[in-house]
């Protein structure tokens, strides 16, 4: 096969591929929508909505062992209950405890209180209120008064890394690939002849002619013209 034949074959393959995709595009779209819907349902059931983080820094002027103790107090149930009550939150202390993270900045007296929530304003409010309630709670736990807020939490409108979006994108791509793969498999096992070129390839001979498919509404009646001709002749005779 020469270079011209190769180019013709490639063009034919591309045309056949394009026709195949157009013919069953509805199936690709359907499968893609189903996969994307499953991905969206998964993200909703696993609470993968965009999340926002806000942090406040608290200075604890005390020995390291006292700072470790006070870090535990920050997430104590009595502190969390007060935060829920003051902010009117509709959640349990267990749920709130999972949202709050406490960490000590290395080689400092600073403790960082971080809160993750689906609402950026709520995240900042919870962080600041937790710090305030904690500071009021300290004197009743330890004889320490050197606890103060270094910096308050600010509203951060930029969401954290969202795995939900990645899951939706992966589901969309997987659906599209699955749909395309399915129509290729269906075409592979389809033994019907779809074009003259397939006949030529199978039989090794050239097609000399073909019968076009009859289209509705294109048949011409010969009776009607005869009636019109007769009518015209009668009209001429009357004149």
42 domain residue, yes or no: yes
Rounded Cα distance, 115 and 99, in Å: 5
The whole-angstrom distance between residue 184's C-alpha and the CA centroid of its chain comes to 25
38 domain residue, yes or no: yes
Residues 140, 74 share a domain: yes
pLDDT of 126 higher than 80: yes
- Of 24, 39, 4, the closest CA to residue 171 belongs to 39
Helix (H) or strand (E) holding 103: strand 100-104
Residues 102, 65 share a domain: yes
pLDDT of 37 higher than 90: yes
Q: Which residues contact 83 (CB under 8 A, 6 or more apart)?
A: 89, 96, 126, 129, 130, 133
3-class state of residue 53 by DSSP: strand
DSSP 49: S
Q: What burial class does residue 124 get, using C-beta atoms within 10 Å of its C-beta: 0-12 exposed, 13-18 middle, 19+ buried?
A: buried
Q: Across 52-66, 79-93, 143-157, which has the greatest mean pLDDT?
A: 79-93
Which tens digit of pLDDT belongs to each residue from 219-229? 555 555 544 44
pTM of the model: 0.55
Give the pLDDT mean for 193-208. Answer: 63
Residues 143, 71 share a domain: yes
The number of residues in the chain equals: 239
Residue whose token pair is 């969206």: 40
The domain of 19 spans: 13-47+163-202
Per 3-state DSSP, the chain is made up of helix, strand and coil in percentages (nearest 5) of: 60, 10, 30
Give the pLDDT mean for 32-57. Answer: 87
The sign of the torsion formed by the CA atoms of 99, 100, 104, 110 equals positive
3-class state of residue 149 by DSSP: strand
Would you tell me how many other CB atoms lie within 10 Å of the CB of residue 204?
7
Give the pLDDT mean for 179-199. Answer: 77
* pLDDT value of position 232: 46
Residues 69, 141 share a domain: yes
Q: Which one of 128, 151, 174 terminates a domain?
A: 151
Residues 127, 102 share a domain: yes
């Amino acid at each position: 096969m020469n270079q011209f034949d190769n180019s013709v074959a490639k063009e034919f393959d591309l045309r056949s591929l394009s026709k195949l995709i157009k013919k069953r595009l509805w199936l690709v779209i359907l499968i893609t929508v189903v996969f994307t819907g499953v991905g969206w349902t998964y993200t909703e059931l696993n609470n993968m909505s965009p999340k926002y983080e806000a942090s406040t820094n608290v200075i604890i002027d005390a020995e390291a062992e006292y700072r470790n103790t006070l870090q535990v107090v920050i997430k104590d149930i009595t502190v969390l209950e007060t935060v829920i009550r003051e902010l009117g939150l509709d959640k349990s202390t267990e749920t709130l405890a999972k949202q709050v993270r406490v960490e000590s900045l290395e080689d400092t007296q600073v403790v960082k209180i971080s809160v993750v929530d689906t609402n950026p304003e709520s995240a900042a409010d919870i962080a600041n209120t937790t710090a305030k309630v904690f500071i009021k709670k300290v004197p009743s736990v330890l004889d320490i008064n050197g606890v103060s807020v270094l910096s308050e939490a600010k509203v951060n409108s930029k969401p954290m890394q969202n795995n939900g979006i990645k899951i939706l994108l992966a589901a969309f791509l997987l659906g599209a690939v699955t749909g395309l793969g399915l129509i290729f498999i269906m075409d592979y096992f389809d033994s019907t002849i779809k074009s003259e070129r397939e006949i030529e390839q199978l039989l090794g001979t050239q097609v000399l002619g073909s019968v076009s498919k009859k289209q509705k509404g294109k048949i011409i009646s010969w009776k009607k013209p005869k009636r019109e001709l007769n009518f015209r002749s009668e009209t001429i005779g009357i004149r």
